[in-house]
Copies of this chain bind each other. A is one copy, B any other.
Amino acid sequence: MSKKKNAFYAQSGGVTAVINASACGVIETARKHKGKIGRVYAGRNGIIGALTEDLIDANKESKSAIAALRHTPSGAFGSCRFKLKSLEDNKREYERLIEVFKAHNIGYFFYNGGGDSADTCLKVSQIGETMGYPITAVHVPKTVDNDLPITDNCPGFGSVAKYIAISTMEASFDVASMCATSTKVFVVEVMGRHAGWIAAAGAMASTDDYEIPIVVLFPEVEFDQKKFLKAVDDKVKKYGYCSVVVSEGVHWPDGKFLAETGLKDAFGHSQLGGAAPVVANMIQDGLGYKYHWAVADYLQRAARHIASKSDVDQAYATGKAAVEYAIKGHNSVMPAIKRTSNKPYRWKIEMAPLSKVANVEKMMPANFITKDGFGITKKCREYLAPLMKGEDYPPYKNGMPKYVVLKKVAVPKKLDAFEL
């Protein structure tokens, strides 16, 4: 074994429009420090790739392919939803990780994900102490839900926010021009099962230049059908139309999701129908207004074509900082974004201890939601606006974005198979 160690990088959980920009930051920075970091091995399909020794040799990718990751959505190496259990509950998996790390001379562990991944990364960062294998583990933040603590915001969120704000604005312009004789209420469903950050971004469609009547349904606010219908009706009466942004996580006081409200298909099967059609039907039943509804689903988190420049820059910067921390020997940390000024927007990267990140969910502060529970405050607007700032268009070929697909050359296996 040489003194120079290789690095392992993996993408975890739901992918985003900019997680590959972080990968780009990690790999390009590692390549600049060849004296410290040997090869970069990426886990095929996330941490599962480490457990099954299914490693991708990132050094086999061309410089231009790695550079193109910066403008390519999704997880270029594959991601997964797989949470390592605690050391007590599943020592076998940690022993396997060490076995794979040893076999491939891996001394650096970069884990690109959200809250659960931060927890996994924390555990891996401790295997030096707990299991005697020297590793430097750094977490790279990523989540469209924007729910990680300490960091001002999470890479991945700004681009979804921009997409939802623009989409809500565009659809609202559409409804405004037809409402005299046609659709009066437009409902769009957005992601965010626990935190209403993305839903809040929908309210950014209304700007200083042009006011748009929007009712937001946050998962933080218990759903009150009567109050909601009145809010919509008031807007329709005043503006002629109304847009509704509903988070997938909106629920009744008893905790039941709106999306679960008793839909049955022809065979009597329970139908997971989405919150948007449920809300739209309420509007028709309760108010009689013509409606349309959309469910953005993956379109929102994959929409690299309209990514926020702030977001792309920060995704890259956190990847870069992660490598810089690691080669300086910082273990069990995460590069966090710190906002140093709002106007003009300025930010820097600061080191955060992983122990303070893992297992903490950052919700919308109460003073970000208006008193009626259906809108966002000035404070919230000031927080959100810079995160959506700037455009960072991908290159195009024949009318379509030129996203990169990597070769993903496998590193030859050295160990026996491992059953997950």
- List the interface of chain A (C-beta within 8 A of B): 11, 14-15, 17, 45-46, 48, 72-82, 162, 165-167, 169-171, 173-178, 180-182, 186, 188, 204-205, 207, 209-210, 261-266, 269, 271-274, 276-278, 281, 285, 292-299, 301-306, 308, 385, 388-391, 393, 396-403, 405
Contacts and interface: CB of A to CB of B under 8 A. Distances in A.
A281 B268 CA distance: 12
A403 B169 contact: yes
Contact of A391 (B14, B15, B292, B393): B393
A405 B262 CA distance: 41
Contacts of A165: 399-400
B45 A180 contact: yes
B298 A186 contact: yes
B298 A175 contact: yes
A273 B263 CA distance: 10
Contact of A174 (B74, B262, B398): B74
A167 B298 CA distance: 9
Contacts of A48: 180-181
29 contacts: A14-B178, A15-B177, A17-B170, A45-B180, A73-B170, A73-B173, A78-B177, A79-B178, A81-B178, A162-B399, A166-B305, A167-B302, A170-B298, A170-B305, A175-B298, A261-B266, A263-B263, A263-B264, A263-B266, A265-B278, A272-B277, A272-B281, A273-B273, A273-B277, A277-B277, A292-B298, A294-B297, A305-B306, A388-B398
Contact of A299 (B261, B285, B296, B397): B296
B75 A178 contact: yes
A266 B74 CA distance: 37
Contact of A271 (B204, B281, B292, B390): B281
Contacts of A266: 261-263
Nearest to A264: B264
A299 B390 contact: no
A403 B173 contact: yes
A173 B385 contact: no
B400 A166 contact: yes
A17 to B, nearest CB: 8
A388 B403 contact: no
A263 B269 CA distance: 10
Nearest to A384: B399
B301 A174 contact: yes
**Residue of A166, A391, A403 with most chain B CB atoms under a 10 A cut-off:** A166
Contacts of A276: 295
A399 B174 CA distance: 20
Given A188-B299, A294-B297, A299-B294, A80 B305 contact: no
